[in-house]
């Protein structure tokens, strides 16, 4: 009865909204009404507005004027065509409407309001995924690709694919992100060194441009839009469908965490492993830092070894964790022992500190979910996350380590969160796409994934981020930020470097009125 009553109330609210013009704000601060004739499913209730006003970063709070919960891609197209200067009803008169901002939002996992549209309209892409026909994830008959609604979470792509014995090859560490969201940035993780980021594993896209045009694009069809949108920070169009490359799905994973006290050995072994392309090579590689001035999480290790691991960290102040995985199934099982033997014999880790688990493939890919559950139970998930993600040229990683890790992080009274530290191969990235990386064959992914829980002020952590950036600037280390949020045009021009003119040209071509993704602060 409660469920039916709830559905009835929602139906009534939706019907009322559909019969009532919705008031939003134009770029000039002028009232703009979305006319009933547009036939849009718009929500303006406090809950919907509040949910769209903040994100995982929990640092910004920007209220949209309305939230669109589309039941079809044509609704999104109608909204954008109207936003380009259709006809509005202001005080009963008609005429060209002032333009207003529009932002697509998936799971809201941005850090600084990048998916916000202050006063404008936020498009809830999860609604589109739920309405997708025949399904949000459709696997091709031959199992080589999946057509996926862009509002779908990657975990749901995984579930649908493994049922057919197939799987995407490139993953983010956290799977409860939308497909369109990661493809608008890059989508990186421990498989990137071998298969490239997620944007390198897309065959085709459906996109609604800033002008409201519905276009299909691929490397051969509308390639300018295709390469621009991938990693394009939502500036040229809203991705509504992605055709994702699939491969055979393994069933199990040998998952290892290997501890180092010597940075040189850690660096050498990481870079050697990402260069191996034969059958003995690993399928996943990342690295983390365990520091004595932070929380030392030993939950991965056997209970009998956890005290020993904690003591190692305290003795050395910092321990480098090489995290690797090798996938297998019944046909590839014979090679697993050879891979473990190779790692044991050739790596320069601290003797006696290599730990291996054998887990199902799905559980391995979904491993961060357990960490989320722990943090939620402690009230430490929905807190400010002033994260800093950067790409560091491989040739300068020792300077970065000495100046930032030893010089800054280890000298903090305490550190919070996880610090990621691992290399990847640039030749797995397509330079025609919008994402920027350092101009070297090998660069490092550094993630200072800090959380301001309890009494800690997030601005203190942000000040530490600023010191990291300043150190790199002063030292001439040409980093590229990832998931960045600049507020000055000169910073964006510097970030895109030689791609800036082309990025600007595509903006003029596909979103000439600069309506899309205002929260990125690129063209505001």
Residues recognised as catalytic: 109, 173, 286
Of 126, 129, 76, 75, the residue nearest 237 (C-alpha):
76
Side-chain-side CA neighbours of residue 336 (13 Å):
19
Rounded to 10 degrees, the C-alpha dihedral 512/517/522/524 comes to 70
Tokens read off for 385? 């996350």
Q: Judge contact between 107 and 69, C-beta under 8 A.
A: no
As a whole number of angstroms, the distance between CA 162 and CA 135 comes to: 16
As a whole number of angstroms, the distance between CA 360 and CA 332 comes to: 15
Q: How far are the Cα atoms of 49, 88, 366, 500 from residue 117, in angstroms, in the given order? A: 11, 19, 31, 23
Residue 360 CB coordination number (10 Å): 13
The neighbouring-strand residues paired with 247 are 167
Place of tokens 């990186």: 188
**Which residues, in sequence order, are CB contacts of 183 under 8 Å at separation 6+?**
150, 198, 199, 202, 205, 229, 230, 231, 239, 242
Q: Judge contact between 58 and 384, C-beta under 8 A.
A: yes
Rounded to 10 degrees, the C-alpha dihedral 192/195/199/201 comes to -160
Extended beta strands in 450-518, E state: 480-482
Element (H, E) at 443: strand 442-449
| Radius of gyration over every alpha carbon of the chain, rounded to an integer in angstroms | 24
- DSSP character for 110? -
As a whole number of angstroms, the distance between CA 515 and CA 341 comes to: 56
């Amino acid at each position: 009865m409660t469920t039916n009553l709830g559905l009835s109330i929602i139906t009534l609210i939706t019907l009322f909204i559909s019969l009532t013009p919705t008031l939003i704000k134009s770029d000039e601060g002028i009232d703009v009404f979305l006319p009933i004739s547009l036939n849009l499913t718009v929500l303006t209730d406090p809950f919907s507005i509040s949910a769209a006003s903040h994100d995982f970063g929990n640092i910004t709070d920007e209220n949209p004027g309305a939230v669109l919960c589309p039941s079809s891609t044509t609704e999104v197209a109608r909204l954008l065509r109207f936003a380009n200067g259709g006809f509005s009803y202001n005080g009963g008169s008609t005429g060209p409407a002032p333009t207003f901002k529009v932002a697509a939002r998936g799971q809201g996992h941005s850090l600084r309001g990048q998916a916000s549209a202050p006063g404008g309209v936020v498009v809830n892409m999860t609604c589109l995924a739920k309405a997708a026909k025949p399904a949000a994830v459709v696997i091709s008959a031959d199992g080589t690709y999946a057509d996926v609604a862009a509002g779908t979470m990657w975990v749901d792509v995984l579930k649908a694919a493994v049922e057919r014995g197939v799987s995407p090859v490139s993953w983010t560490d956290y799977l409860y992100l939308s497909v369109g969201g990661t493809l608008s940035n890059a989508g990186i993780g421990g498989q990137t060194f071998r298969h490239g980021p997620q944007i390198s594993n897309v065959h085709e896209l459906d996109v609604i441009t800033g002008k409201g045009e519905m276009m299909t694009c691929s490397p051969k069809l509308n390639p300018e839009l295709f390469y621009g949108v991938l990693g394009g920070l939502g500036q040229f169009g809203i991705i509504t469908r992605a055709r994702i490359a699939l491969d055979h799905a393994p069933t199990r994973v040998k998952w290892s965490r290997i501890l180092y006290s010597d940075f040189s050995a850690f660096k050498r072994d990481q870079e050697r492993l990402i260069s191996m392309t034969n059958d003995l090579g690993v399928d996943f590689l990342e690295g983390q830092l365990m520091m004595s001035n932070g929380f030392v999480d030993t939950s991965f290790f056997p209970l009998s070894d956890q005290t020993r691991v904690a003591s190692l960290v305290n003795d050395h102040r910092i321990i480098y964790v090489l995290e690797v995985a090798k996938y297998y199934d019944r046909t590839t099982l014979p090679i697993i022992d050879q891979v473990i033997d190779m790692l044991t014999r050739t790596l320069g880790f601290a003797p006696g500190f290599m730990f291996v688990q054998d887990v199902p493939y799905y559980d391995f890919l979904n491993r961060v979910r357990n960490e989320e559950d722990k943090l939620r139970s402690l009230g430490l998930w929905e807190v400010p996350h002033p994260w800093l993600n950067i790409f560091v040229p491989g040739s300068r990683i020792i300077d970065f380590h000495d100046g930032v890790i030893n010089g800054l992080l280890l000298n903090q009274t305490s550190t919070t969160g996880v610090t990621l530290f691992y290399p990847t191969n640039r030749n797995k990235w397509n330079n025609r796409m919008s994402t920027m990386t350092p101009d070297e064959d090998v660069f490092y992914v550094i993630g200072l994934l800090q959380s301001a829980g309890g009494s800690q002020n997030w601005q203190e952590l942000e000040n530490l981020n600023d010191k990291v950036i300043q150190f790199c600037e002063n030292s001439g280390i040409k980093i590229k930020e990832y998931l960045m949020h600049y507020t000055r045009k000169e910073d964006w021009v510097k970030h895109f470097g030689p791609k800036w003119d082309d990025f600007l040209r595509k903006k003029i071509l596909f979103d000439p009125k600069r309506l899309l993704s205002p929260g990125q602060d690129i063209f505001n």
